[in-house]
Amino acid sequence: MFEVFLKELKELLRDRKTLIFVVALPVAIFPVIFALMGFLMSKAALEAEQKVHNYAIINAEYAPEFKDKLFFHKNFKLVEGDFKTVEELKQAVKDEVIDVGIVIPSDARDALENGSSNEWQIVFNDASSLSFIFTRIKEMAEEFSQTLQSEQFNKLGIAKEHQESLLNPVVLEKVDTADLRENLGEKLGALIPYLLIPLVLAGASYPAIDLGAGEKERGTLETLLLTPIPRTELVLGKFFTVLFTSLATALITVASMGVWMKLASSFFDVEKITDAFSMLGFMDFALILLLLIPLASVFSSLVLAISIYARSFKEAQNYMGPLSMLAFLPLIVAMMPNMELSMSTAMVPITNVALAIKEIIKGTVDYSYVGMIFIATAVLAGVLMAACVHWFKKEEVLFR
């Protein structure tokens, strides 16, 4: 078995595609992709922040404070036009003459004296990327509302220092019992398994395809079967090769992301992320790795069995797509709100590991659940490994 493992590992290391997939992608390409995505998102946000939007306003004279604030705002430009109705503003937005239209009622001030509020209409395309316009206008409208409130309080003879307490008679102060690590872990903890677990599967997929379907295409499988090595040992040798590359991909990626994050901290503000990971000790990383080993064994058994069954490299690749989708579903479940590690979720494959990693990062993990998850995943891996060995012994599977 060990000789088979070394043979397969040497062959994989000689393959440039494998080296690119297992080493180059985690070290360089993945971080570059994430950095590029971050750059494009920040650039899009900056462009949106600096973009000037055309607007038209009806009955502006009834809210002069709001009109002036909007007129002098850096992101808005007034479009002169004889707009009288909401329908005309709608058509102007559709014709892209303006980006937003505002209708102020003529009783903007008088309504308050009659004990009622007035309704302003904001006309814009909410399906477009301009949806944040409403938020900006709402902020300015709220400032005008405070002006109206102050006017009414002054008419009632209420001193300015008492107005705030009447508007906000109850102020809530949040006293958080969670420490910094738990807070940051709750926000970031769900993302780590979402990155790690697919990498474990991806690190197993390509080598497995090459060791099974690839050998069929090259015609080397028959030669390997003629050697005086039991088929069980042949499968286990291939299995441990796939397991090794699976874990290596995940570990190299984590190490690479750590190095890149360290470099990025010199140029960008990622203090919160680095603070969260600096709180993790050696035991925490060891527990995460301990949970990934049986999960990687599960994935390795599955992809190797699929590769052995497939007639060709291309057919094996076609099977890997649905498997990847099935692996993502439990991860999505783990990211759902209020999803916590419990006796029931500890028995759900993949979801249990994702939730346990999240709890480890938060520092609130129950070690009894970790042991339970490790045993349950290891048992599942053993069953799948045995099925893979049985699969490999069938001539109708090997020579389809």
Q: Are strands 53-58 and 100-103 parallel, antiparallel or unpaired?
A: parallel
Q: What confidence category does residue 90 fall into, taking pLDDT thresholds of 50, 70 and 90? A: very high
**Cα gap 360→182, rounded to integer Å:** 10
- DSSP string of 203-271, one letter each residue: HHHHHHHIIIIIHHHHT-HHHHHTSSS-HHHHHHHHHHHHHHHHHHHHHHHHHHHHHHHHHHTTTS--H
Q: Which residues pair with 101 in a beta bridge?
A: 56, 123
**Cα gap 184→255, rounded to integer Å:** 20
Query: Of the candidates 306, 213, 229, 313, which has an alpha carbon nearest to the alpha carbon of residue 7?
Result: 229
Give the three-state DSSP class for 103: strand
Query: Of the candidates 188, 383, 384, 158, which has an alpha carbon nearest to the alpha carbon of residue 280?
Result: 188
Q: Give the pLDDT of residue 299.
A: 93
Residue 33: Cβ within 10 Å count: 11
Q: pLDDT by residue (tens digit) across 188-232?
A: 777 788 878 888 888 888 888 888 888 887 777 777 777 777 888
Domain boundaries, the chain: 2-33+181-398, 52-167
Q: Give the pLDDT of residue 25.
A: 67
**Cα gap 58→98, rounded to integer Å:** 13
Q: What confidence category does residue 373 fall into, taking pLDDT thresholds of 50, 70 and 90? A: very high
pLDDT-wise least confident of 9-18, 101-110, 112-121, 287-296: 9-18
Q: Give the pLDDT of residue 101.
A: 92
19 pLDDT more than 70: no
The token pair at 199 is: 């990498």
Q: pLDDT by residue (tens digit) across 331-351?
A: 888 888 778 888 888 889 999
Q: Give the pLDDT of residue 30.
A: 61
Overall average pLDDT of the 366-383 stretch: 92
Give the three-state DSSP class for 63: coil
pLDDT-wise least confident of 41-45, 146-150, 340-344: 41-45
Tell how far CA 391 is from the center of its chain. 36
Sheet with 121-124, strands from edge to edge, namely 76-78, 53-58, 100-103, 121-124
In the CATH scheme, what is the homologous superfamily, with its name and number, of domain 52-167? Answer: Periplasmic binding protein-like II (3.40.190.10)
Give the three-state DSSP class for 241: helix
Above pLDDT 90, what percent of the chain?
A: 13
Q: Give the pLDDT of residue 336.
A: 83
Crossing angle for the helix pair 191-209 and 282-309, nearest 10 degrees?
Answer: 40
Q: What confidence category does residue 364 fall into, taking pLDDT thresholds of 50, 70 and 90? A: confident
Crossing angle for the helix pair 191-209 and 231-264, nearest 10 degrees?
Answer: 140
CB-CB contact of 388 with 304 (8 Å): yes
Q: Which residues pair with 76 in a beta bridge?
A: 53
